Structure 1
Amino acid sequence: MPSDPSGSARQSGRSRLNTASALLCLCMFASGACGIILEYIQASLASMILGNAFEQWAMVIGLMMFWMGFGSLIQAGISKERLIHAFIGIEIALALAGGYSPTLTYLSYGYTSHYSLVLYFFVSVIGILIGLEIPVIIRINNDFSKELSTNLGNILSADYIGSLAGALVYVFILLRFFPITEAAFLTSGMNFFLALITFVYFTRKQIIRRNIPLLVIMAATCAAVIFGYMNNRRWQISNEQALYDDPIVYSKTSQYQHIVITHFKPLDEIRLFLNGNLQLCSTDEARYHESLVHPAMSLAQSRNRVLILGGGDGCALREVLKYPDVDQITLVDLDPAMTKLATTHPLLSRLNNHAFDNARVTTLTGPGISPGDFRQVYQASSDRKRKSADSGYMVETRHVAEVRVMNLDADKFLEQVNGVWDVIIVDMPDPSTPELTKLYSKEFYLKVRHRLAKNGIASVQSTSPYLAKESYLCIGRTLTAAGFFILPYHENVPSFGDWGWFLCSRKDWNKDLGKQQITELEFTVPTRFLTPEVFRRELVFGKDMNQSRHTEINTLLFPVLLSYYNHESWLLE
């Protein structure tokens, strides 16, 4: 039977067309994944730098979608002959802009007052480039696809599936294990790889000609991406130092937050920052933690069982451990990196008096809470001495408390746990993000009340009644709406300014508890700052400080506190 050269040629042509189309679909899948990751990186940057995650994520995604539409329009100006070169150029530009945007934005944040313009510039550029990608690939694939519907279906489905894959990679890999600057360079490396395989394939098939200038540009881009990846952590430390007055001795991004410790050696001053916000300063943290802990501990009828929500730095735990009649302490903090740091870092563990040293630490990732065992914590005492069999030294130890540390979301913990506590201390960061605002909601405080013993006392960190007045008063209204009787008080903490808390009870302070109990209050444990007289002074407010034109409370479906905190607070600074 004679051979059919024309049939072989047609078969070869179809094979080449199918290979090219498959390659373009693969490129679209990868570019869809990279595109969504770059969008998330820009939104995360905006949230960390400008605050208010709700607004910044909406603004960044909305702005990027707008510029993507603009990019889809201007692609019409690209001639058919230049489409493949244009796609390679788009991926090269995305590799450079996407890779270096976090580093350059962070640099501008440390050294200029126009960092928001830099941030939105990169958002716009990346949006335009992503908007160019899809129509350009569709137009290229049009030569390798029989029908327009098949072309559109293949390319768009690859983009959408790639977007899901990118979201999963960002949430479960990049966000957990890499700094945001390094995640950007890893993503940009994939963009460059798309440019490279496209160039290699289409030049080998002689669909485009070898282009020496383009090769030089690609080599330079590859070098720039590798150079950025190798140096991004060093640049991050250098850029970050400009944001802090004192030398940084620790900087790491955990799964949940960015943690920084600074140390000013001449004064031995230690500062802890979470996501750029000061959490404590060693020179005056006693004012904060003693005011948070000791009024509640002293006014409670019983303090056998104590629950600390938040407080991963260990300083609140340090104060609770001073009470010899406390039997059990449960500390619930979401971030295991924070409690581990408070246990192992020499500066932070010294500050919290090694409060975590013998605590039982449980990291929970599943839906349930198992009771588990408590580990006994002992503290040295000079009252009585006994001879140690191991060392021969005279050492006396007495039982202080049984401590358990649980790395779990506080809201989920309260929802699933059984039992009640005599004292509950809520030591959460300020409500600057949606995740934190949830922990100041009526729904959350109802769970706190449900876990508070009938005669128990809760103490709630409540931001500044002066610099964040409406936020402070909203927290008070929300606590009242959850069924608490509240007692507001405040103290000057020089690092923060005027700071406020609420004591919360299931009984009326003016009836069941009465003012006499506060009048006769005494602290039975050593303190550095707080005295009964100082606490009674903390209960006094100026007559305008508890007045507000607002009546809203903070709930999950109406998180008004987030708006108060980010728009009506800190305007007096």
Structure 2
Amino acid sequence: MLDSTEAAPPVSAPAGEEPSVRLPVPAGIGRALVLAAVFVCAACGLVYELQLIALADYLVGDTVTQTSIVLSLMVFAMGIGSLAAKRLRRSPSFSFGMIETLLALAGGSSAMVLYAGYLWFGEARPVLIGYSLLLGVLIGAEMPLLMTLIQRIRRQDAGGAMADLSAADYVGALTGGLAFPFLLLPLLGRLNAALLTGVVNTLAGAAVVLWLFRRDLTRRARWVLLAAGVTVVAVLLAATFWVSPLESATGQAVEADGPAADR
């Protein structure tokens, strides 16, 4: 879920001002597409968060403690990411594209890396803490960049723009929060759910940057983002072939170690 409390919106300008970037669609449709991207990114972000909590319960145990640790670290890191994004707003399109690509790779691979860490080291806590911080920083960097992008389409007062972004953010988070336990886990399982979410996250970011804001990018920047996105999608899809053996090996290791509540 995006961090709306830490956003630093650009200086407002009168509503209806001419856009500062050329779009392939009218400004109204462009704003709607950015809000749709906010919705998808928020849903993916919450799925990553719930995934970490579910894996902490499965691999570590002590649900209350691990949930508190994951949530606290992610919220803290989101604030850090929001502050760091101030330096990225000079090239918001490219920066947002790279942030989404990195977030998709990190979030999509999180479950498999946690499983692998548990198998190799018999301990998932260090990896869990690392991913909580990494995902939090990347999620926190989204909102300031999205605020900058939507204001470049058609400037409006900062409060109105924030209200629109926050509404899309919260509805997306609700959708992701419901989809994870009722749709993704039953149909796909932990590992495939994370991988699929990463693919969706990559495509959402690419749609905004490489199509809607493509004229805001140099040719080199477009190729860099395209290559990065294709690579991430290929890696996540290729990882599906390792899901079954990794789940089987981890399940056996967890059973051998005893109930999570006893660890």
Question: Where on the TM-score scale, by shorter chain, does this alignment land: which range?
Answer: 0.7 to 0.9
Match of 2:229 among 211, 218, 228: 218
- Quote the Cα distance in structure 2 between the aligned partners of 1:87 and 1:231: 30
1:277 to 245, 258, 263: 258
Q: Is the 8 A contact 1:46 1:119 kept in 2?
A: yes
Contact 2:96 2:209 in 1 (8 A): no
> Are 2:28 and 1:18 equivalent residues in the alignment?
yes
- Tell me, yes or no, if structure 1 residue 125 matches structure 2 residue 106: no
1:92 lines up with 2:101 in the alignment:
yes
Which residue in the other structure is 1:39 paired with? Answer: 49
Could you tell me how far 1:176 is from its partner in structure 2? 2.3
Shift of 1:223: 0.6
Q: How many residue pairs get matched? A: 241
Give deviations 1:165-216, integer Å, cap 9, x for gaps.
Answer: 1111012112323221111011111111112212332355x22233323222
Pick one of 213, 234, 238 that aligns with 1:227: 238
Once residues 196 and 234 of structure 1 are traced to their aligned partners in structure 2, the CA distance between those partners, rounded to angstroms, is 31
Cα contact 1:110–1:243 (8 A) shared by 2:
no
**Counterpart residue identity of residue 39, structure 1:** E
The AA in structure 2 aligned to 1:32 is: A
Q: Secondary structure at the match of 2:218?
A: coil
Q: How does 1:159-174 map to 2 (within 5 A)?
A: 159-174=169-184
Could you tell me which of 192, 204, 220 is aligned with 1:182?
192
State the distance in 1 between where 2:23 and 2:236 align. 36
Structure number having the greater helix percentage: 2
Question: Residue 104 of structure 1: CA displacement?
Answer: 1.1
The alignment's TM-score, normalised by the length of structure 2, stands at 0.83
Q: How far apart are the structure 2 equivalents of 1:55 and 1:108?
A: 20
Give the one of 105, 120, 124 matched to 1:111: 120
User: For 1:192-244, what per-residue CA distance to the aligned partner results, in whole angstroms no more than 9, with x for missing partners?
Assistant: 1112212332355x222333232222221121111123432233224444556
SS of alignment partner, residue 57 of structure 2: helix
Give yes or no for contact 1:111–1:242 (8 Å, CA) kept in 2. no
- Pairwise CA distance, 1:97: 0.6
Q: CA RMSD in A?
A: 2.5
Q: Is the 8 A contact 2:85 2:144 kept in 1?
A: yes
1:55, distance to aligned residue in structure 2 (A) = 1.6
Shift of 1:101: 1.1
DSSP-derived class of the 1:178 partner? helix
Q: Is the 8 A contact 2:24 2:212 kept in 1?
A: no
- Aligned residue identity for 1:199: V
TM-superposed CA distance for 1:137, in Å, is: 0.5
Whichever of the two has the greater Rg, that structure is 1
For residues 399-439 of structure 1, give each alpha carbon's deviation from its aligned partner in whole angstroms, at most 9, with x where no partner exists: xxxxxxxxxxxxxxxxxxxxxxxxxxxxxxx9x4xxxxxxx
Residue pair 1:182, 1:233 contacting (<8 A) in 2 also: no
Q: Which amino acid aligns with 2:95?
A: A
Please state if 1:58 is matched with 2:68. Answer: yes
Q: Could you tell me the percent identity over the aligned residues?
A: 26
- In 2, are the aligned partners of 1:92 and 1:218 still within 8 Å (CA)? yes
- Please state whether the residue corresponding to 2:248 is helix, strand or coil: helix
| Deviation of 1:79 (Å) | 3.7
Say which of 211, 217, 239 aligns to 1:201: 211
Q: Are residues 1:137 and 2:146 paired?
A: yes
Point out which structure has higher relative CO (alpha carbons under 8 A, 6+ apart): 2
Question: Is the Cα–Cα contact under 8 Å of residues 24 and 141 in structure 1 kept in the other structure?
Answer: yes
Following superposition, the deviation at residue 13 of structure 1 comes to 7.9
Aligned match of 2:85: 75
Please report the TM-score for the alignment, with normalisation by the length of structure 1: 0.40
Unaligned runs of 5+ in 1: 1-9, 246-275, 279-429, 433-565
Deviation per residue, 1:442-482 (Å, 9 max, x gap) = xxxxxxxxxxxxxxxxxxxxxxxxxxxxxxxxxxxxxxxxx
**CA gap 1:15/1:147 in 2 versus in 1, 3 angstroms:** farther
Partner of 1:339: none
Relative to its length, the structure with more strand (as a share) is 1
1:49 and 2:59 equivalent? Answer: yes
Equivalent position SS for 1:146: coil
Post-superposition offset of 1:100: 1.1
Structure 1 residues 198 and 103: alpha-carbon distance in aligned structure 2, compared to 1, 3 A threshold: same
Whether the 8 Å contact between 2:103 and 2:138 is mirrored in structure 1 is yes
Shift of 1:14: 11
Residues 146 and 203 (structure 1), Cα distance of their counterparts in 2 relative to 1, 3 Å cut: closer
1:402-441 → structure 2 map (5 Å cutoff): 432=261
